């Protein structure tokens, strides 16, 4: 199938919703020509501020995300949502629940919602999220909210695609903070204690504040801790205020840091190399032959892998259609 990439790219830049959805799917599938298409939109990107919203399952991330998105739209922002669904067979219900809760706003003007599976994403979860964010950015979104569960390594990787991270905690999860993956406290720019309508919210706030004080580095301000309740509406406005202030006041946030660019280039190179290695070795039968020799007890996997790697001298890049240079951003 040949994809009408130019049409899609033009559609995305022109604010066409159908083109936006289709381009995201084709890029996510890594359909032939995806990189040229990303290159074509790259100069149009760099405006969107990306907020990662992470926390334990059931903390209220989806509920908060939809409330906050609606509040931001009411203030004139164009908002996109990326929902990273846990696709474990045990949480099939959660996935559906997320979709249903999100459905409520999927049709609201100015909000585009995209779900992403956590497993089997070509190119990795973080790069996948980054690609989607860029396409939404070129489409004209001012803000993208990425909702992700903060419990697994893959999920934490996703927040590397975010400019600022909100960590959602709740009372009544025992030691709520401990259920989050170690390392998540360090990445929070804002802590939200949700379900403040329940007992114990103030204790969780103090616990987090104490923890942040201990972890505090000189010069750096301690991240704020907000209390919210989707039931009573408490704190939702303050949360929306924080987000819109950060959207407005931090033009440099969206600028890519050297670390981030370095990491992205490496990720893209790894993806490409891996793709070529697979194609080459499955295509020419060398892999199958090696498998047979190992199974027959004639070789071991270690030396086979080493031998095969030593045959790589040069990896041709994917055919470049236009031969043009990628642009710089506006």
Classify residue 124 by burial, with Cβ atoms within 10 Å: 0-12, 13-18, 19+: middle
| Lookup: tokens for 250 | 């931090």
Give dist(CA 135, CA 129) in Å, integer. 10
Q: Which is nearer to ligand GDP, 63 or 127 (CB)?
A: 63
Position 207 contacts Mg ion (CB under 5 A) = no
The footprint of Mg ion on residues 44-63 (CB under 5 A) is 61-62
d(CA 144, CA 97): 21
User: Pick from Mg ion, ligand GDP, none: which does 127 bind, CB < 5 to 8 A by kind?
Assistant: none
| Distance of alpha carbon 223 from alpha carbon 243, whole angstroms | 13
Nearest residue to Mg ion, scored by beta-carbon proximity: 62
User: Which residues lie near ligand GDP (CB under 6 A)?
Assistant: 55, 57-63, 97, 101, 194-195, 197-198, 229-231
Q: How far is the CB of 56 from ligand GDP (least distance, A)?
A: 7
Please identify, using beta-carbon distances, which residue of 160 and 195 lies nearer to ligand GDP.
195
User: What residue 54 binds from ligand GDP, Mg ion, none (CB within 5 to 8 A, per partner kind)?
Assistant: none
181: partner contacted, choices ligand GDP, Mg ion, none (Cβ within 5-8 A by kind): none
Token output for 221 = 């301000």
Q: Which two tokens stand for residue 262?
A: 């370095």
194 binds, among Mg ion, ligand GDP, none (CB under 5 to 8 A by kind): ligand GDP
Give the span between the Cα atoms of 13 and 138, in whole angstroms.
Answer: 6
| Residue at shortest CB range from ligand GDP | 60
- What does the alpha-carbon distance between residue 85 and residue 92 come to, in Å, rounded to a whole number? 9
Q: Which residues of 201-220 are buried (b: 16+ CB within 10 A; e: fewer)?
A: beebbebbeeebeeeeeeee
Q: Which does 230 bind (CB under 5 to 8 A by kind): Mg ion, ligand GDP, none?
A: ligand GDP
Task: State which residue, 62 or 121, has the beta carbon closest to ligand GDP.
Answer: 62
What residues between 54 and 113 interact with Mg ion by CB under 5 A?
A: 61-62, 98
Least distance from ligand GDP to the Cβ atom of residue 196, Å: 7
Segment (H or E) for 313: none
∠ CA 256-260-264, rounded to 5°: 115
Q: Which does 197 bind (CB under 5 to 8 A by kind): Mg ion, ligand GDP, none?
A: ligand GDP
* Nearer of residues 85 and 189 to ligand GDP, judged by Cβ: 85
Tell me the CA distances in angstroms from 92 to 62, 120, 168, 239, 307, one per residue in order.
Answer: 15, 16, 22, 30, 43
Partner from Mg ion, ligand GDP, none contacting 327, C-beta within 5 to 8 A by type: none
Contact 125, 147 (CB under 8 A): no
User: Among residues 40 and 226, whose Cβ is nearest to ligand GDP?
Assistant: 226
Least distance from ligand GDP to the Cβ atom of residue 86, Å: 9
In the numeric block, which tokens belong to residue 265? Answer: 């280039």
- CA-nearest of 161, 171, 167, 162 to 149 is 167
Contact characters 157-196, Mg ion, x per CB under 5 A = ----------------------------------------
CA count, 13 A, side-chain hemisphere, 277: 14
CB of 61 to ligand GDP, least distance (A): 3
Q: In this complex, which beta carbon is closest to Mg ion, that of residue 48 or of residue 62?
A: 62
Q: Which residues bind Mg ion (CB under 5 A)?
A: 61-62, 98
């Amino acid at each position: 199938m040949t994809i009408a990439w130019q049409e899609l790219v033009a559609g995305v830049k022109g604010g066409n919703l159908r083109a936006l959805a289709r381009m995201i799917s084709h890029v996510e599938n890594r359909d032939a020509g995806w990189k040229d298409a990303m290159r074509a939109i790259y100069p149009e990107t760099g405006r969107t501020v990306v907020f990662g919203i992470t926390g334990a399952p059931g903390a209220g991330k989806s509920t908060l995300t939809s409330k906050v998105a609606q509040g931001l739209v009411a203030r004139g922002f164009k908002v996109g949502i990326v929902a990273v669904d846990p696709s474990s067979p045990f949480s099939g219900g959660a996935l559906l629940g997320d979709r249903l809760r999100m459905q409520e706003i999927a049709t609201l003007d100015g909000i585009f919602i995209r779900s992403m599976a956590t497993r089997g994403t070509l190119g990795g979860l973080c790069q996948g999220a980054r690609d989607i964010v860029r396409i939404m950015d070129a489409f004209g979104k001012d803000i993208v909210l990425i909702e992700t569960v903060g419990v697994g390594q893959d999920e934490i990787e996703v927040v590397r695609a975010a400019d600022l991270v909100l960590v959602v905690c709740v009372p009544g999860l025992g030691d709520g903070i401990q259920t989050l993956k170690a390392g998540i406290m360090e990445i929070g720019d804002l802590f939200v204690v949700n379900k403040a309508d329940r007992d114990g919210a103030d204790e969780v706030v103090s616990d987090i504040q104490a923890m942040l004080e201990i972890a505090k580095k000189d010069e750096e301000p301690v991240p704020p801790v907000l209390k919210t309740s989707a039931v009573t509406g408490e704190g939702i406005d303050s949360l929306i205020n924080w987000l819109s202030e950060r959207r407005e006041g931090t033009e440099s946030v969206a600028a890519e840091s050297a670390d981030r660019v370095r990491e992205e280039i490496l990720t893209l190179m790894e993806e490409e190399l891996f793709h070529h290695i697979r194609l080459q070795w499955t295509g020419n039968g060398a892999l199958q032959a090696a498998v047979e020799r190992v199974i027959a007890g004639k070789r071991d996997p270690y030396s086979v892998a080493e031998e095969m790697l030593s045959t790589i001298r040069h990896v041709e890049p994917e055919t470049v259609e236009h031969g043009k240079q990628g642009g710089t951003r506006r």
